[in-house]
Structure 1
């Protein structure tokens, strides 16, 4: 799939805010090009400014793999779940897009484009299952070189309180190959919850410099259905 470099222009010309552009156009090639420029999409629902917003936070949330904090209680909780990779991407996407979730932003266009990216081998999911085989948590994002651009995660509040955290731990396992120190998970914005797991903030220009290095790293091996570490 061809990339279109320089779509958003030099970062020196971007506004001093997280939202740097908006457009009516939205497709797989544009999304991939955006990630390579340090930009990600999020719809501007009911804004009047076009269909899609393009964001590059001034303070970017990132998780170096060796910074992940796994508490004793989370390790204990993880033993009650099974994790898989790319075993239920459509279901994870659908659960993340549940309109009952607060601040839901994943619309039909986002589902269409990321489903196509999954079929093309760029978008991936990690699933968390309970002992009865129910999908109770998961996450999805886009893998490009040493970058995993996390898009969204979910957990079942009744059956999988820690299920999204377990999925994150499993994702780090997937990425922890011989190039682990050269890989980073981009979480877009840091929250208190993500900070407790080891996510840090870096300034926009620092992130863009890091991104240039990440894109030179070979992509990890994604094996559908396998359990991380298996």
Structure 2
């Protein structure tokens, strides 16, 4: 493997994302810490941490980047039925700790959401930077959710889970609808998956992604607090 920059925990700095490796795709640096200031700096520049328990902190900026533009969300026929049936009640920031815990427990390939990661994002949540979106069934049980960071008019998705059919998809539809209403530009999905692509996500060059961040990450959204008011109204979405 090529020599990677080591991030000194005492220095708030990252190498340019363009210096990331092609193989493995997007690996940029290692080391540093998960302090709020460093995490915010990373996301502002299209960089995120992703590592296992036995590894140092690894920082990534893949090329291309998987993103979802809020007005491009795709609602399939089966998902439309689930939305019309109103099987789930959607909330925001009501159960952040539960969402991140279940996301960690639901990773079948072995979690990358270490205790250190969970604590770091919980700190960001307490600062009003990280947010959760929850889906509750009719029995009041938490059955789907996701969490991520909101900076300016950009939302950086981190992880999601679904314990009932379509629960996480319904969360995504409501997230996209609400962010569109608030004037958000983009939802960062980090790495592509079939699930995300089927919902309208697509891969764009890293240079385009960084350009979008540059123009959007410092623009305040229409609404600052995370009081979800958007609701599904039909097939026009």
Bin of the TM-score, shorter chain as denominator length: 0.7 to 0.9
Question: How far, CA to CA, are the matches of 2:32 and 2:12 in structure 1?
Answer: 18
* Separation in structure 2 between the aligned mates of residue 179 and residue 99 of structure 1, nearest angstrom: 32
Q: Aligned partners of 1:11 and 1:100: how far apart in 2?
A: 27
Alignment of 1:170 with 2:174, yes or no, is yes
Q: Could you report, residue by residue, the CA deviation over 1:149-203 in whole angstroms, capped at 9, with x for unpaired residues? A: 00000010xxx111000111111122122524xx100000111121111110011
Q: Work out the CA distance in 1 between the residues paired with 2:38 and 2:107.
A: 29
1:126 pairs, out of 130, 133, 136, with: 133
Corresponding residue SS for 2:105: coil
Of 162, 166, 183, 1:155 maps to 162
2:39 paired residue number: 31
Secondary structure of 2:149's aligned partner:
strand
Give the gaps of 5 or more residues in structure 2: 1-9, 233-237
Inter-CA distance 184–5: structure 2 relative to 1 (3 Å threshold): farther
Return the alpha-carbon distance in structure 2 between the equivalents of residues 6 and 76 of structure 1.
48
- Asked whether the 8 Å contact 2:17–2:46 carries over to 1, the reply is no
63, 69, 78: which one pairs with 1:64? 69
Q: Give the deviation of 1:220 after TM superposition.
A: 5.0
> For residue 215 of structure 1, what is the aligned residue in structure 2?
217
Within the alignment, does 1:75 sit opposite 2:83 as a pair? no
CA distance in 1, matches of 2:89, 2:62: 34
Please tell me whether the aligned partners of residues 156 and 189 of structure 2 are also in contact (alpha carbons under 8 angstroms): yes
User: 1 CA distance for matches of 2:78 and 2:106?
Assistant: 31
- Higher mean alpha-carbon deviation, 10-19 vs 199-208, is at 10-19
Structure 2 residue aligned with 1:113: 120
**Secondary structure of the structure 2 residue equivalent to 1:92:** helix
Alignment of 1:91 onto 2:98: yes
RMSD: 2.2
**Alpha-carbon offset, residue 219 of structure 1:** 3.1
Return the offset for 1:6. Answer: 7.7
Structure 1 position 24, deviation (Å): 4.5
TM-score by length of structure 1 reads: 0.87
Q: Which residue of the other structure, out of 4, 7, 15, is the alignment partner of 1:9?
A: 15
Q: Secondary structure at the match of 2:50?
A: strand
Which string of whole-angstrom CA distances, capped at 9 and with x for unpartnered residues, describes residues 22-58 of structure 1? 11422111100100111011124324xx2x1101001
2:51 paired with 1:43: yes
Number of equivalences: 219
Q: What SS class does the counterpart of residue 176 from structure 2 fall into?
A: helix
Say whether residues 1:145 and 2:152 are aligned partners. yes
Whether the 8 Å CA contact 1:84–1:228 is kept in 2: the answer is: no
